[in-house]
Every structure is written in C-alpha cells, then in structure tokens.
Amino acid sequence: MIIRIVKMTFIPDQIETFMQIFAGAQKKIESFPGCKGVDLTRDLRQPNIYITISIWENLESLDQYRESELFISTWAQTKILFSERPDAWSLEKLK
C-alpha cells in the first residue's frame, strides 16, 4: 500500500478556487483504478497550507494516475494557485 502526501501552499485569495477544483476532482480521483481514497487537510496555524493524503494499492497505480489526463488537467489548474513550490512524498505502509 502506498500513501501519497502532497503539501500545497496557496496564495490566500486563491483558496476558494482550489476548493472548487478539488470538489470537482475528488470523486474522479477516488474512482481511479488502484485509489483507495483521498483526504484533504488544512494546517491549523497556517490556513493557506493544504495537504492531500491519498492511498493507493501500489506504486504502479499511483504512477498511472500521475500520467493520466485527469491528473495532468487537475494539476495544471492547481499549480498556478501556489505561493510556494509544493512538497510531495510517496510512502510505503509497512504495518
């Protein structure tokens, strides 16, 4: 099982735009083969920092998603809203 964590820091007045993008994409991402779910979280002290946590069956499923039109179009809309470069981690769940 793979856990994908992506930290995104947004321009404050672009957060609503991101929320609309995420609302439209979440179910599509969750229905992508190999995806077990996607959660959106927000930092309590820095409310313009959001973190997505997604669960994938394996690295191949995650890679197929990252090469898909769904990811490419969603990421293109999202990345222009950042105030800082995003950070991302792909982690293997051990137990």
Mean pLDDT, the chain, as a whole number?
Answer: 97
- The reported pLDDT for the residue numbered 93 is 86
Nearest 10 degrees: CA dihedral of 55, 44, 20, 5? -20
What's the distance, CA 13 to chain centroid?
19
* Distance between start and end Cα atoms, the chain: 10
**What is the topology classification, in CATH, of domain 2-92?**
Alpha-Beta Plaits (3.30.70)
Residue 94: per-residue pLDDT: 87
95: Cα within 13 Å, side-chain hemisphere: 0
Give the number of other Cβ atoms within 10 Å of residue 18's Cβ.
Answer: 19
List pLDDT tens digits, range 33-61: 999 999 999 999 999 999 999 999 999 99
CA atoms within 13 A on the CB side of 30: 12
